[in-house]
């Protein structure tokens, strides 16, 4: 029998260092509906005259992340306005860390904590679907590093 891990066994926390103060984003930024982490990896191929085999070179360039949040307050709007203000004033963007805590059902398999550091995070869109629909915000980000820790 397969013990598949479900969404309830993953927790996503987003923290931002604004003006030297590191704080976990709360409210809307805590209501993560879905999360994706995609490695930016390329396989380069080189062919040389007189050689029968292609040389492969694997290059990892970091991670693309994305998530959707349910709007419960103005936290996403304040974050986005802060990024825009920093850009307009030629200040550094917030230093973001995204932490994903996994708990696995398989006996003997310890949980993992994936820590994405130095994340450049931006809001992609805000969706208002209809009178009875939840307002949602989509975010995406890029970073160079992910560290895996034992939970």
Q: Can you give the pLDDT at residue 67?
A: 95
Alpha carbon of 33 to those of 10, 49, 55, 82, 105: distances in Å? 11, 52, 42, 23, 21
20 pLDDT tier (thresholds 50, 70, 90):
low
Angle at 76 between CA 72 and CA 79, to 5 degrees: 145
Q: Can you give the pLDDT at residue 78?
A: 87
Beta strands 95-102; 10-18: pairing state = antiparallel
Cα separation, 10 vs 113, whole angstroms: 9
* Tens of pLDDT, residues 28-66: 777 889 999 999 999 999 888 888 888 889 999 999 999
Task: Give mean pLDDT, residues 122-148.
Answer: 93
Domains of the chain and CATH, by start: 7-40+60-150 (2.30.110.20)
Q: Can you give the pLDDT at residue 29?
A: 78
Q: Can you give the pLDDT at residue 74?
A: 86
Q: Can you give the pLDDT at residue 18?
A: 66
The residue count for the chain:
151
pTM: 0.84
């Amino acid at each position: 029998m397969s013990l598949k891990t479900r969404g309830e066994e993953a927790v996503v926390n987003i923290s931002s260092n604004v003006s030297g103060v590191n704080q976990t984003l709360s409210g809307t930024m805590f209501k993560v509906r879905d999360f994706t982490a995609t490695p930016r990896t390329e396989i380069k191929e080189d062919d040389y005259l007189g050689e029968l085999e292609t040389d492969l070179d694997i290059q990892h360039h970091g991670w693309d992340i994305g998530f959707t949040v349910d709007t419960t307050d103005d936290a996403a709007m304040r974050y986005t306005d802060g990024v825009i203000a920093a850009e307009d004033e030629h200040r550094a963007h917030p230093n973001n860390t995204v932490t994903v805590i996994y708990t696995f059902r398989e006996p003997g398999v310890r949980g993992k904590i994936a820590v994405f550091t130095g994340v450049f995070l931006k809001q992609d869109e805000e969706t208002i679907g209809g009178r009875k629909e939840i307002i949602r915000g989509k975010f995406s980000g890029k970073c160079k590093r992910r560290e895996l820790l034992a939970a």
